[in-house]
Amino acid sequence: MRLSQLVEKLGGELRGSDAEVSRVAPLETATSDALAFLANVRFKALLSESSAGALLLKSQDAEGVTTPVIVTDNPYLYYARAAALLHPAPAVRAGIHPAASVDGTAVIDASAEVGAGAVVGAGAVVGADAVIMAQAFVGDRAQVGAGSRIFPQACLMADCVIGERVILHPGAIVGGDGFGNAWAGDHWEKIPQLGRAIIGDDVEIGSNTTVDRGALEDTVIAGGARIDNLIQIAHNCHVGEHTAIAACVGIAGSTHIGARCQIGGAAMISGHLDICDGVTILGGTLVAKTIRQAGVYAGSYPMQTHEQWLKNAAHLRHLDALSDKVKQLEKQVAALKAAGSQEE
């Protein structure tokens, strides 16, 4: 694709020759057929060393650059959109593979693809241009929205729903039973999990992530959310629109997370909490109480605002020195008291 074609589709200002590119690549490894980008000024020195055929840059970074450039206010976002154009997803191959197992009562749109070894249960509905890849599972009465893709070994359990353009990566499980058990005095008794898991439009769920079905109410992941790999979202949780959750996060049951939140890797969130819109939780943070004010939060125990955590962490680093000073002062005070007693 020529740079002028990218500009026509995505905007921006072309400076230099109308080069042709066929892929995107990092500045360090890009060759003459690749489009590279600079999103962080710390790596500006790499511009002069890069062999990229074209660059995505902010206006202030493009001064003096001889390589063809598309100038844009947000090179990272432009890169994401250009990558989607240059590296499109494989085309849908409409039809049901002979080795698939599709119940006779399932409704499969004629434009959808069902791969070898995939299972589609009774009463399930698969929308237009959806792809159920090899060995994926769609349970009884489950619904798959138009344009969605379920990768190999991913499971959409009975009665659960995913919206349009949803991606379930390999091994993702939507609608497994939540952790519901009642203690009977000498043993646990399983509590039937009667709710569903409902996934909104344009959600992406990473490999080996689990979204439990609700116990009574539904578990809900709202539209536009991004859920990374190896995440546990327990029963009855609600994740708001466009919230992004990084790998290895655990969210206990019945917690409500607002819209446009960002949750760093390995954060742990207790159950029955409310986290308001616009909250950022840094990696490894333990959230044990409700958050009602937008902002950045960090720390293991107790959780606090990031600014408070930084101050306390700085004090903690000097704890040994402070202890030594206190001991020294105690000795001095003791010596003064002893001297005063002798004078009396």
Which residues form the catalytic set?
A: 235
Sequence-distant (≥ 6) Cβ neighbours of residue 52 within 8 angstroms: 25, 27, 30, 31, 32, 34, 35, 36, 67
| Alpha-carbon radius of gyration of the chain | 27
First to last CA, the chain: 96
The DSSP element (H or E) to which 336 belongs, if any, is helix 319-343
Beta partners for residue 244, in sequence order: 226, 262
Sequence-distant (≥ 6) Cβ neighbours of residue 230 within 8 angstroms: 206, 207, 208, 209, 247, 248
Residue 88 C-beta-side C-alpha neighbours within 13 Å: 5
The DSSP element (H or E) to which 36 belongs, if any, is strand 34-37
Decide if 130 contacts 149 (C-beta within 8 A): yes
3-state secondary structure at position 123: coil
3-state secondary structure at position 167: strand
Q: Report which DSSP code applies to 253.
A: T
CA-nearest of 278, 254, 272 to 263 is 278
How many other CB atoms sit within 10 Å of the CB of residue 119? 18
Q: Where are the extended beta strands (E) located within 116-190?
A: 119-120, 125-126, 131-132, 137-138, 143-144, 149-150, 155-156, 161-162, 167-168, 173-176, 181-183, 188-190
How many angstroms from the chain centroid is the CA of residue 217?
24
Q: Report which DSSP code applies to 110.
A: T
